[in-house]
Amino acid sequence: GAVVSQHPSRVICKSGTSVKIECRSLDFQATTMFWYRQFPKQSLMLMATSNEGSKATYEQGVEKDKFLINHASLTLSTLTVTSAHPEDSSFYICSAPTSGRGTGELFFGEGSRLTVL
Amino acid sequence: GIQVEQSPPDLILQEGANSTLRCNFSDSVNNLQWFHQNPWGQLINLFYIPSGTKQNGRLSATTVATERYSLLYISSSQTTDSGVYFCAVEPWGGADGLTFGKGTHLIIQP
């Protein structure tokens, strides 16, 4: 199957610092990628849709200034958690459709576990 | 938005047993996927099945789109099948990512 890779898999940071998470599609190009957040023992919640060459689309209630998304190329999207606080601690997972754009089967990265002290 | 309900929320079985997990959704969909989340958090694609029936080894899935539900069958369960199974859907006409159900937490005991 298609491969989506995330880095880093784990990160621990101090409160007030910023953390960048990378999501790469390794064997296909994607003009659209999706970022999800998962709290312990809960489901995945869509945070935003990353669009190559244009601004990301954020779900209601997600602060765009807190969670900066940049879709720099057809194979890379980044999520930056700015001025992180303990409540931002969570599991962040990206995904991309193998169709490259919008709908179609989605594959997910390995996820990034963020702990803010 | 579209609602996705999975049942049962928790299921404990002995090794070798069969199980059926259900996913109900509230609107027409053009994408439905089943995932297994392993203990490390990785989502493993099981089926891409907006309609019809598919089988892969001991697992099979059926989606009846007109009645807005999907079923995941696991036969001859193994301890490695333990984990959380998620159903996720994309509403018809949307290209807005998947909406996930709350999952079924499956424990297979030896």
Residue B95 has pLDDT above 70, yes or no: no
- Predicted pLDDT at A80: 98
**Alpha-carbon gap: A98 to the closest alpha carbon of chain B (Å):** 12
Q: Which residue has the tokens 């439905």?
A: B32
Could you tell me which residue, B5 or B39, shows the higher pLDDT? B5
Convert the pLDDT of each residue in B42-89 to its tens digit: 999 999 999 999 999 999 999 999 999 999 999 999 999 999 999 999
Residue type, B101: G
Residue A101 has pLDDT above 70, yes or no: no
Convert the pLDDT of each residue in A73-88 to its tens digit: 999 999 999 999 999 9
- Predicted pLDDT at A103: 67
Percent of chain B with pLDDT over 70: 98
Which residues of chain A make contact with B86, given a CB cutoff of 8 A? 43-44
Burial bucket for residue A9 (CB in 10 Å: 0-12, 13-18, 19+): middle
- Predicted pLDDT at B9: 97
Q: Is B10 in CB contact (< 8 Å) with chain A?
A: no
Tell me the three state secondary structure of residue A95. Answer: strand
Task: State the average pLDDT over residues B20-26.
Answer: 97
